[in-house]
Amino acid sequence: QVQLVESGGGLVQPGGSLRLSCTASGRIDSKYIIQWYRQAPGNQRELVADITTDGRTNYADSVKDRFTISSDSAKNTVSLQMNSLQPEDTAVYYCSYRQPWNSRPKYWGQGTQVTVSS
């Protein structure tokens, strides 16, 4: 079992920044992928960004050049730096843990609310 704890959500004005963190604990594999998803009311959950244990990253087109995902392997923590936030970024953000041999995440965090509003 792997536990994921997210932090860093909140309310920010358009153009502002937030940094989300996801810390994993428990029976962590030597190789895994941490993925950040978001879900806005009435919308499907969408993949925002992910990072592998060897540092490869992937971003949704809607957040490229604004969001940066990074990892601190010593702390089993993945961060999502979000800049130039816009109202359409408002959603609940979830981190997830996916094993490379599985097509879907196996574990999910509880989610953290990000609201972009003036």
Contacts of 105 (CB under 8 A, 6+ apart): 35, 96, 97, 98
Buried b (16+ CB within 10 A) or exposed e, 48-63: bbbbeeeeeeebeeeb
**pLDDT at residue 73 in the model:** 84
Judge contact between 115 and 97, C-beta under 8 A: no
Buried b (16+ CB within 10 A) or exposed e, 10-25: eebeeeeebebbbbbe
Amino acid at 50: D
Mean pLDDT, the chain, whole residue set? 95
Task: Tell me the per-residue pLDDT of 69-112, one tens digit each, with 9 for 90 and over.
Answer: 999 988 899 999 999 999 999 999 999 999 999 989 999 999 99
Q: Which two tokens stand for residue 92?
A: 């609940």
Judge contact between 1 and 10, C-beta under 8 A: no
Q: With pLDDT > 90 as the criterion, what percentage of the chain qualifies? A: 93
Judge contact between 4 and 93, C-beta under 8 A: no
**pLDDT at residue 75 in the model:** 86
Q: Which two tokens stand for residue 8?
A: 């860093």
